[in-house]
Structure 1
Amino acid sequence: MHLLNTLFLPILGAAVLIPVIIHMIWRNKAIRIDFPAMRFLMTNKKPISRWLRWKQILLLLMRMLIFALLALLFARPYFANKTLLPLWDDAEKEVLIIYDNSASMSYERHQRKAREELNAILDGFTEKTMVSFLTTGFFNKTVIESAPLTTAVKELIKKNLEPDFGVGNLHDALRKADNYLATLPNTNREIYLISDFQIGNWPEYIRDMNLQSKARIKLLPVADADLENLSVTEIAIPRQPGDGFHAQISQKNLKSMHRIDLQLQLNNREMGKATVPLDENEDNNFTTFKKVPLPLTSQMHGSVSFRVDDAFDFDNQLHFVLNQKRKVRILAINGEKMPGVADELFYLRSALEIKNSAFELVESIPMQANSVGIQGFDIVLLANVRGLDQQSIQQLKSFVQKGGSIIFALGDKIDQQLFNTFFSELAACTLIGKAYADVQSQVGEILLAENTEHKIVEKSIGSGNSNSRFYQYWKLRPRAGAARIFSFPKGNAAIFESRIGEGKSIVIAFPVDSEWSNLPVQSEFLPLFHSLFAYCAPERLKNAYINVGDPISLGKDFDLTNTIKITDPAGRTVSQRLPLNVFTNTDAPGVYSFSQNGKQMQVAVNVDRRESETEFYTAESFQARLSTDGEISSNNQVLRAGQFSEIDIEQQQKLWRFILLSLLLLIIAETVFANRVPR
């Protein structure tokens, strides 16, 4: 046994002596008086007085023990053996269940095993157990918050088990669960995570996570490692008459299939068929639909599909739209909002608002970046932005990982230390310092193309020379794998790009205003940034399809004040206003149609192909991503023992409750016994 407050050790020793001291001070002193009648009682004197003396000693020991227990109570004892946690179980246990209902959980074996695990968990609890239930799929949905496990609660849980078409995010679900449990007073906490633990359900840019609630975590994997799956993962649509449709088919663990028949549909009509042989030694197979009559003057929707009996049905069809005219949406965060030409975005705004521009610019400032959000945008431009809050930075990381593009334009508001601390991972570089002590208007360096065949170079300055002069810029140290697009004559990078997940990160060593260069007033400014933004437009935009859950931006062609007729893939039609011209209810794959006053737009939506992955974390590999003081177990096997501080151990064992109860019982016994012992 250990003591939390060792200060009470000497007090414990002194407390035992208190009853002895009182007994010695207040001990009765007998006065001897002899009278004749006493001689008849002398024969019984010795046994009676011996028994009385033992009673008094027992009473003294009880009183000494009372003071000892009182001192021990304040010393807060505990056992160092953590397997004894908790000795005094709370009447209520706080349990939070995370249930993965993403698209991959639609596989019959996954779904059946997940429900069996859930039923076993619920059957092991009583109505005193406080239960919270969270699903992760299309989004992290809190179904129940800290409610007693009644029959009604069980029924509500079972009504929310159907898989949707979203991508599970186990990191965000665990973070949400941990933050919630950490706010509750009950320290007897448990998290149950039921999932197939698909590799794609954990963001690549997050290595591990630190959990604060100290809850016991129970991992319940339900994945079938031997499942067979085939999916249409990509399609390249024709860009001009005579081009064919190119489809990519991915296969995982195929054993029983050797070929499949693909079908191409346009506007719900069959336009082509192709037989694709499957090579078990190849993960990807390709085929082309040739000689497909294609009117490129009108918007059309279509799909490539096949019918096979594999694990997942949702990826056996890929929807697309031809001749999509949606503009590229750019969120520009202005780090130097000023009136007139001094504004950071003055020249860029003029360049993007020309007639028939393919771009739509939406402006914000750093303090409002989180409230505006990045949903519905294709590119985020940080124009001379000094810093952002942590939540916005995490959103940007997720945005780029999923295929978005981020562009850093560095100016005089940039702080080298802050940038290297918060943005170096996203920018894939670190800042060394400014090229000159101040703006060198007498010098002026030009842009040199590193690769004249790069699309940005090809469509801006081509093989010619830049006419712009740069009087100041930031010296950068790009990370391994970064590709230079432009450099300065002294060898420093001017513009370079990096791949992060499915997206792009581009860093420009100078601002987009005229403070450090004369670029904005040169003829190459407009083609440079038009080609830059066109290059950064996501591939899915070019192929005219997005993923389930992604917002659809209708652009400026639709009137914000009037209703828009919306038709979903199931054919259901509704008319409603879209205040921000953004439609967010893309919860099912297929083609969504929008119309208003003769204007029409179609967008294809598909299930994110990360849900087609057949690689899964084991419980052991998944727990390695979690940093927590709580215990982690799987299938009744402890994977990692809890690491608790002395205070945590004492608070969970609650030995003081036993001591307090013993103290109360001892006081009652002492009171009764004292009344039966004469002084």
Structure 2
Amino acid sequence: MPDFLTTPYLLLGAAAAAIPIVLHLILRNRAETVYFGAMRFLAATPKKLLRRQRLKQILLLLLRVLALLLLGLVFARPLFVGEKMPAILGEEARALAIILDTSASMAAQQHLTAAVKSAREVLQKAKASDQVSVIASAGKTEVLVEKTDPVQAEAALANIKRQQSFGNLRDAVQFADNLLAQSSLRRRQIYLISDLQAAGFSPGNLNLKSGAECIPIAVQPAWQNIALTSGERIMRNGQVSFVCRVRSFAKIAQEVPVQLVLDPQSKRVAASKRITLAAEEEQTVHFAAGEVTSKGASTAAAYFEILAPIDDLPDDNRYYLAPEATQTARV
């Protein structure tokens, strides 16, 4: 008898479902052909109507059988008990392995900070009965905590530190798989939190012997970048002015100082302005001839510079202008 029935012997009552079939076979009418003189005046019954009536009778018979089967199942009182109850209700304890990539590539754009935040979100959704292991993966695999509760696992995240080495995520997943294979819990999950650089994950199919579900979480924080996209020196009517374009690739508005520097060696600030850039906005900044307070502006080497308060890529914060060639006069 199935072990999910409270009173399995009462399932024998479902055998009563055979009663309608037996009665149907015993009591069904057998047609008898009777000839009489006026038969030729009667209209023949369409075959389509006969098939429809037969189909209705079969469906009615099936419904009667199904009703008796369900009645027998109800008397048997089906219920998932023991180890099966938590699995059905989604409350079964899990064995979790959280792998955090701590290789050198995680330094870009605060990836490691975002990875720790993702790990905290996973632990906050975990149940108190879950067993959690936290693993740091770089050149070598390091176990921070093993088979502990979510609260202690979250506290261990404070010990995460970035390593100046390449990543080896494949070995870390295999290590977590061996760790979960030793768990007595049947539901097993591996969370792989990384920027998923190709160099850190060697090719080849992973063979998870523990039967764990591997869940990758890609860390991709939004760029907060302000860049100088172009610059130009304009000569007109014997006067010189400067124009540059500043673009925001960020998702937030910022107030950005823009400077014009003449003579890169002395870094003399010839003019400066402050602009407000909305998210993903581009503006043109113009330094008129009267705003540039330095001699040699028409020929000297110069560069534009922005001083953004939040900028993940400072390498594009300058735009250089080559010095103009002076014309020699013939005598």
Q: TM-score, normalised by structure 1?
A: 0.22
Higher relative contact order (CA 8 A, sep 6+): 1
